[in-house]
Every structure is written in C-alpha cells, then in structure tokens.
Structure 1
Amino acid sequence: METPEPVLRAEQLSKQVSSPEGRLTILDKVDLEIRRGETVAVTGPSGAGKSTLLGLLAGLDVPSSGRISLANVDLTALDEDGRAALRAEHVGFVFQSFHLIPSLTALENVMLPLELAGADDPAQAANEALKTVGLEARKGHYPHQLSGGEKQRVAIARAFVVTPAVLFADEPTGNLDQRTGETVIDLLFRLNRETGTTLILVTHDTALASRCDRVLKMDAGRFIEPAPAERVSA
C-alpha cells in the first residue's frame, strides 16, 4: 500500500518567550512529520509545550525559529493574513472551552467558517454538519441553551464542515464528564475515518491517546519516547 504523503512537517521548531527570570524556552528544536489521515496524540505534563506546539502548527502563533509546512505550504513564510487564509482552507479546531460565539445560534456558529471561506450555500452545509453530529433539532439554540456535550458537538460540526486537511483538538474532553467525553471522542474518530482528515489531539487522557495511530510524549519542550517517527503497534 502506498504511504500517504506528509500533510504537516516541522523542522527545528523552537519558541522562546520573555519572563521576569529572562528568556524562557517553551519548545526546543522540535522535528515532526505527520501524514495525511493519521491520528496523533500529543501527551505530557502541564508546561511541557503541548498547546504551544499545537498553536504553532496551526499558524495561530509564530515560532522563534524553525520551519513549518502545512498542506505543502511554508506556513512560516506567510504573514498574519496569509496564515489566516491557509487556516480557513485547511484547518479545523476543537478546544476544551468550545469557543462558540454566544450571540450566534448553533447553526450560525457552524456556518461561520463557510461564510469566511465564501461557500455558496453555508446554511445547507451547516445543517448537514449538525445532522451528522445529531444536533439538527438544536440548530436554533444559542450556546447558553446547550449542554457541555452539545456545545462540543457543535464545535466539532464547525470544525469538520469545511473538510479540513488537519483537525487540531486541544483537550477536547477536558470540560466534559466521562460518559459525554467518550461520546464526543467516538464522534471525532468516526468523522476522521469518514473524511480522511488528519487528527492531532493534545490530551492528558491515556485511554484517549491509545486510540490514536501514534502517541508523541513531550517534556520540557521536546519529544521523549516514543520518537516522532515511531508508530504505536496495533
């Protein structure tokens, strides 16, 4: 079987920030390659650099040094507008705190990325996405009228509606009870299989991480065992 091509590559990726104690290294010369359709978990203790890595890979932040290639585009060569345009076309997000817009209904929240991308009929596509996550009946509800699990399903519908090349999920079950979290994760993995989207998860949940093709462990801004190129055996 032909090996899928890399959809995301980081080379010698570093991030430093200023602190009262001086220059602080958050990421230290990280190398990473992720292939199209893979599911990858990034784990490690708080402060290891996991969320910083995710933000850099998604183009939400810029590295101090190093290079990132996303969907064959050099992300680090783009300005802020260029990175935003690339995210709109190729990237989806699911966050622990949902990040829904309170003044928009569930349907309008899911329509938003389609409207930003200039889609022809965003309402129809958003309706279909909500139907896929089992929330068509709640499309007229605002975020404050939805449970935590429903909010996260709306967020997942919003993330997948543009069929992104890469979906980043940062602690997607962190604000959910165990049963609701399992339902949300089952949904994420099902949509990953159905759409072929690459799924990159930051999680403290070892059971969740074990469902991914690879588990990358971070500590002090670097990957530790298993190495980034090592696949978890089935």
Structure 2
Amino acid sequence: MTDLSTSDTSPMLRVTDLAHRVSLETDTLTILQGVSLEINRGESVAIVGRSGSGKTTLLGLLAGLDTPTEGTVALDGAEISSLSEDERAKLRASRVGFVFQSFQLLPALSALENVMLPLELAGIDAPEVRAKELLVRVGLGERLNHTPRQLSGGEQQRVAIARAFASDPVVLFADEPTGNLDNRTGQDVSDLLMALNREQGTTLVMVTHDEQLAARCGRQLHIEAGILTEPESARERAH
C-alpha cells in the first residue's frame, strides 16, 4: 500500500512533465504534453482553453480519474500517478470534491439524500445534520426533499456544490460549473463557489472557457493544443 500521508508545506498539487496520449487505429493522438505546474494549498486556479484543448483531460489526471502516459501527479503529498485504482478511489473519497457541468445528481434521491450519500459512504457521523447545514448555506433550506427534476438548473448545481463540500475536501475540482446555466444563474453559482472556497480554505481548480469566471480565481492557466502556459505575472503571484 502506497503511503498517503500529507505535508502542510508541500504544494497541494505538483505535476511534473505530464503527457497523455491515446492510441488510434493508425496513429497516436497527443492530448497533453510537457505539462508541469504547482498549485499551493488554498489557491484558486482556473484552467482556460477552447473545446478540445485538453483542459478536461488535464483535470481528470489531476484528480486521479485517469493515469498519464508519462510524468507524475502528486496530490496532497501522495503521488497518485503511481497508485492503484483502489488507492486512487480512496484518495478521491477522502480528500477530493467534484462539481460537474451536468450536475450528476442521482434522480431518485432528494436534495438532502444526494448530499448525505457521500457522507454515509465515508462513514461520517450525523450525515443528515451536515447535509442540512450545507443545503441551508447554499440557499436550499426549503428544498431539502425535492428531487432533481423538481429543481431548476441553478438549484441542482447548488445541490452539487453542497455535495462536493460535504466531506470537507482539501481540493475541489470544477469542470465548467456554470456551463449549463444562464448568465445570471451562473453568476450566482460562481459567487457561491468562490465564497465556500474562501470560507473552507479549500484549494479550487476549475476548468472553464468563461474568461470572466476565470478572472475571479487567483491564477489563470491557459491551455492550447495540449500545452499549458501561464502569464509571468500569475507565476510571480503564486510564489
């Protein structure tokens, strides 16, 4: 079993010479190449790029949802690129939160039950109390027993955000969190996401094509054709 110990002085994420390729019938497609970066604890970082630029693939590798072709990824002191599938799942369950563009709520469960589920799976005491607190915090105290189809898109994303923060993750990954929302609702959801990030001190790594949303993060990274770049001013602020 690989050691999953943490270090308060190490970066939350450290990526070294990351590459990801996919074998096709007659060729090999390079999705990412030569990616190296560090993200400190408590930072908010946006990864910005056009569709097909490799940003969602990068997010999946950072979160341990996939393994790179080359290079290493260390999350909270654990080199996840060398962990087994079960070890990566354990790490994600204990330290990582996710917010997706498509919400990914379980349709048969109420808002309360959707937020309670990861707490129950983690064996956390009083999951209903914690879930209710979070749903009240995201403005859904009157909608606890509504199922996803009884909620608007913005309300569903609020449930998803509450679920993501339920187990106090050390890092939250958000993939186009406002992509399915209208401008006003998207603004409200991004306000909430940034507020919770500040309140809980969670490291936030967000993929978005929305430059306005990206500008709210402390750093912006740009990806094009699988190559990641960062403005010099952003690197200086990070160190």
TM-score, with length taken from structure 2: 0.93
Residue identity in the other structure for 1:167: L
Structure 2's unaligned 5+ residue stretches are 1-7
Matches of 2:212 and 2:197, distance apart in 1: 18
Structure 1's unaligned 5+ residue stretches are none
Query: What RMSD over aligned residues (CA atoms) do the two structures have, in Å?
Result: 1.7
Instruction: Answer whether contact 2:105 2:148 (CA < 8 A) is retained.
Output: yes
Sequence identity (%): 60
Q: How many Å apart are 1:65 and its aligned residue?
A: 1.4
The residue that corresponds to 1:33 in the other structure is 38
Specify whether residues 18 and 156 from structure 1 end up closer, same or farther in structure 2 by C-alpha distance, changes over 3 A only.
Answer: same
1:132 maps onto 2:155 in alignment: no
1:155 maps onto 2:160 in alignment: yes
Instruction: Answer whether contact 2:44 2:205 (CA < 8 A) is retained.
Output: yes
Task: Choose the corresponding residue for 1:80, options 75, 81, 85.
Answer: 85
Matches of 1:231 and 1:223, distance apart in 2: 16
1:43 maps onto 2:44 in alignment: no
Q: What SS class does the counterpart of residue 142 from structure 2 fall into?
A: helix
1:19 maps onto 2:24 in alignment: yes
Matches of 2:124 and 2:32, distance apart in 1: 37
The residue that corresponds to 2:178 in the other structure is 173
The residue that corresponds to 1:146 in the other structure is 151
The residue that corresponds to 1:113 in the other structure is 118
Tell me which moved more, 182-191 or 4-13. Answer: 4-13
Residue identity in the other structure for 1:83: R
Q: How many Å apart are 1:150 and its aligned residue?
A: 0.2
1:45-66 deviation digits (Å, cap 9, x = unpaired): 1111100000010011111111
1:195 maps onto 2:195 in alignment: no
**Number of aligned residues:** 231
TM-score, with length taken from structure 1: 0.94
1:125-151 deviation digits (Å, cap 9, x = unpaired): 111110110112111111111000000
Instruction: Answer whether contact 2:10 2:76 (CA < 8 A) is retained.
Output: no
Q: Following TM superposition, where does structure 1 have runs of at least 4 consecutive aligned residues deviating by more than 6 angstroms?
A: none
